[in-house]
Amino acid sequence: MTQGNIPSAVPDVLAPRLAVVFCGINPGRASATAGAHYANPRNDFWRLLHSGGFTPRVFEPREQRDLLALGIGLTNAARRATRGSSDLRVADFEGSGERLELLAATLAPRAIAFVGKAAYQGVFRERPEHGLQERTLGETALFVLPSTSPANAAVPWDERLRWFQALHDLVA
């Protein structure tokens, strides 16, 4: 999927009827270079995915398409790659809500999990709390996780893991 006519630096990993689609804020430079989600080796996403119960082992970013067989998809709220999320502009999120609504309507995942409050805020223009949101996209639940970015190292591992496990319990 593209946002408007802007291709993503990192392709979506999507299929119908997934348990969960993880939605990051945007591709970082390492991900854009690798063409894979969460490719920065200091990003905890792949370790949290495993420790949270979603995968039988820690996957490498290059194995991202293998997640589909486990009921897991990947996308981003904004398509443009940046050095950091602070480089994003409001315009980078233009059409993202409609794109996620279409994704929910056509692919029907049980949940879309935003990896970081900023990803959710970029799409819906409101500041969320972590966890299950009141807002839904049709039958698709929305869940907000702490960011797994190295820039979010102030949030302890155990707290981030607790939210990943709560999401796993929701979609299992």
The range of the structural domain enclosing residue 49 comes to 20-171
| Residue 7, pLDDT score | 57
Q: Is residue 12 part of a domain?
A: no
CA nearest 35: which of 15, 64, 14? 64
pTM score: 0.92
Which pairing describes strands 20-24 and 72-76: parallel, antiparallel, or unpaired? parallel
| Residue 150, pLDDT score | 86
Task: Indicate which CATH number applies to the domain containing 36.
Answer: 3.40.470.10
Domain count of the fold of the chain: 1
Measured CA distances, 157 to 41, 127, 145, 163, 168 (Å)? 16, 22, 12, 10, 16
Distance between CA atoms of 118 and 123, rounded to whole angstroms?
9
Q: Is residue 129 part of a domain?
A: yes
| Residue 91, pLDDT score | 81
Check if the beta carbon of residue 12 is closer than 8 Å to that of residue 75: yes
Q: Is residue 99 part of a domain?
A: yes
Per-residue pLDDT tens over the stretch 59-108: 999 999 999 999 999 999 997 767 767 778 788 898 999 999 999 999 99
How many CB atoms are located within 10 Å of the residue 88 CB? Answer: 17
Task: Place 1 in a pLDDT band, splitting at 50, 70 and 90.
Answer: very low
Per-residue pLDDT tens over the stretch 136-153: 999 999 999 999 998 888
